[in-house]
Amino acid sequence: MPMQETLITGAVFGGLALLLFLSERFIPLRRVKRPLLGRLTVNLSFAAVAFVTVSLTVRPAAEAMLGWTGDSGFGLAQLAAIPPAVRPLLAFLLMDLTFYWWHRANHRIPLLWRFHNVHHLDPDMDVSTAFRFHFGELAFSSAFRVAQIGLIGPSLGSYLLYEAVFQAGTLFQHSNLRLPIGSERLLVRLLVTPRMHGIHHSQVPGETNSNYATLFSFWDRLHRSLRLNIPQSEIDIGIPGYAGDRDNSLGNALLAPFRTQRDYWRRADGIVPVRTGPAEDKSSLAP
């Protein structure tokens, strides 16, 4: 991507992030547990490292594979039987579906979870959490991107459109912005929302291992991994085995994947968080 386009894109998403950051200060969804400045410093430091990593790995890998699939006509979205008018929509949906599978794999495969865990270590969740990804996870993502683009064969336009919506959605769903519950109940029928993704960042294992969708919430419905019925006031954000202040320092968070792993779900007092209460409709969004 030319430097001018990169700067314009950065300005647009920076503006969106700033708007969400200011909005969540005035209309917070969850009570904040930790001082903002320390978390913001750590998360923006991750963002700086992530920018370098993406520039060196993910972006070149994606561009190379896009060039190859474009020249060869390879990929599901380019099959001759698919009408040209349908191909952009198919590519968009397949990109999002494969991101669902990739996100789920990051929770299920121990090696990938070591790195993705760093994203979940954040003891609060707001728009800055959307930038908190370990460089190791992003390096693995470059290999995933090669396979994803090779399988789907999106056009450059379809890919760039999905990337733009994906990045905006990531900022939105990580925000601590309280939307009117009625509006969010309508929105979550189609898209991942802050309340839905807040449950995914819960310290309760069964809640963390739900709501994997990246953009469209119906992937979780189809895969029976949807969980919406947890009130935000009852959610503790983070990973219970790594809930100490030192665990969330920049140095320790960067080194965490390379160290012997603790029991992720057992708190310092030896208790594994669980959710008790009457069975409810998991598909009904709680306040």
State the residue range of the domain holding 95. 36-79+88-258
Which pLDDT value is given to residue 5? 58
> Within a domain: residue 267?
no
> Within a domain: residue 93?
yes
Q: Where residue 280 falls among pLDDT bands split at 50, 70, 90?
A: low
C-alpha 19/C-alpha 17 separation (Å) is 5
Q: How many domains does the chain have?
A: 1
> Within a domain: residue 56?
yes
The tokens describing 110, both together, are 């121990």
Among the ranges given (59-63, 178-182, 215-219, 222-226), the one the predictor scored with the smallest mean pLDDT: 59-63
> Within a domain: residue 285?
no
Which pLDDT value is given to residue 287? 75
Residue positions counted in the chain: 287
Q: Where residue 4 falls among pLDDT bands split at 50, 70, 90?
A: low
Closest CA to 257 of 125, 106, 155: 106
Q: Where residue 281 falls among pLDDT bands split at 50, 70, 90?
A: low
The tokens describing 145, both together, are 């991107």
Summarised one tens digit per residue, pLDDT across range 51-103 is 899 888 888 889 999 999 988 889 999 898 899 999 999 999 999 999 999 99
Which pLDDT value is given to residue 272? 96
Which pLDDT value is given to residue 276? 81
> Within a domain: residue 99?
yes
> Within a domain: residue 176?
yes
> Within a domain: residue 203?
yes
> Within a domain: residue 234?
yes
Which pLDDT value is given to residue 3? 53
Q: What is the dihedral of CA 96, 220, 139, 162, to 10 degrees?
A: 20
Q: In 98-150, which ranges are E strands?
A: none
Q: Centre a 10 Å sphere on the Cβ of residue 165 and count the other Cβ atoms it contains.
A: 16
